[in-house]
Chain A
Amino acid sequence: QVQLVESGGGVVQPGRSLRLSCAVSGFTLSSFGMHWVRQAPGKGMEWLAFISYDGKKKLSADSVRGRFTVSRDNRKDTLYLEINSLRPEDTAVYYCAKDRGWMELIDYWGQGTLVTVSS
């Protein structure tokens, strides 16, 4: 079955950088676009970024563009999210998610990894 497992979260000081990983199984990563979404404590879902199946197309939310970078390694079945200049407001659970296909949205999500930005 489809599985997405995020890792790399933890407590990080403001201004530092962090790279989150998402290991996938149960489907062919190279055939699907992927998303990152986050949920701050007590808040709703916020879409962050999308990367196409081949990594050639990337989209990101205005709120994180320039600080967040999505990438993928299809040979390793892994998705990444690089976060720079971390701010306290970046504290959230970060989810990776699989795209259903062209013109579609998310059909599978991971369980998330918690990032806490604090000094």
Chain B
Amino acid sequence: QSVLTQPPSASGTPGQRVTISCSGSSSNIGSNYVYWYQHLPGMAPKLLIYRQTLRPSGVPDRFSGSKSGTSASLAISGLRTEDEADYYCAAWDDSLSSVVFGGGTKVTVL
């Protein structure tokens, strides 16, 4: 069971907006940066969002992140077929002195 809680799946049609939630606690999301990763099978995971809202260069602005209290969200707008992947949130946990991940959300483009 993961320390951060994500829905196991999310879906949408091309062009739609999909939002993925990530719920934690005061010792992780509530007090530290949230990161989001995209993972396609067999590939290296890719950083999508860091410091809960910032995008590395090269990441389309269709991807956006937010944080409120002990929860964070990743939104994908203008959904495209190439967005089909697993998405993970992560944060440092002060109580565990470790990095904690969400269980991952599989996004399907219908």
Tally of contact residues, B, Cβ under 8 A: 28
Please encode chain A, from 94 to 119, with 1 for each CB lying within 8 Å of some chain B CB and 0 for all others. Answer: 01010010011111111110000000
Shortest distance between the CB of A43 and any CB in chain B (Å): 8
Tally of contact residues, A, Cβ under 8 A: 25
Please encode chain A, from 46 to 65, with 1 for each CB lying within 8 Å of some chain B CB and 0 for all others. Answer: 11001000000001111000
A44:B33 contact, CB within 8 angstroms: no
* Interface residue SS majority, chain A: strand
Complex Cα–Cα for A103 and B91 (A): 10
B75 within 8 A of A: no
Query: Hey, which bits of chain B sit against chain A, CB under 8 A?
Result: 2, 32-33, 35, 37, 39, 42-47, 50-51, 56, 88, 90-92, 96-104
Residue contacts A-B, CB under 8 angstroms, 8 given: A37-B101, A100-B50, A104-B50, A104-B51, A105-B33, A105-B91, A105-B99, A106-B37
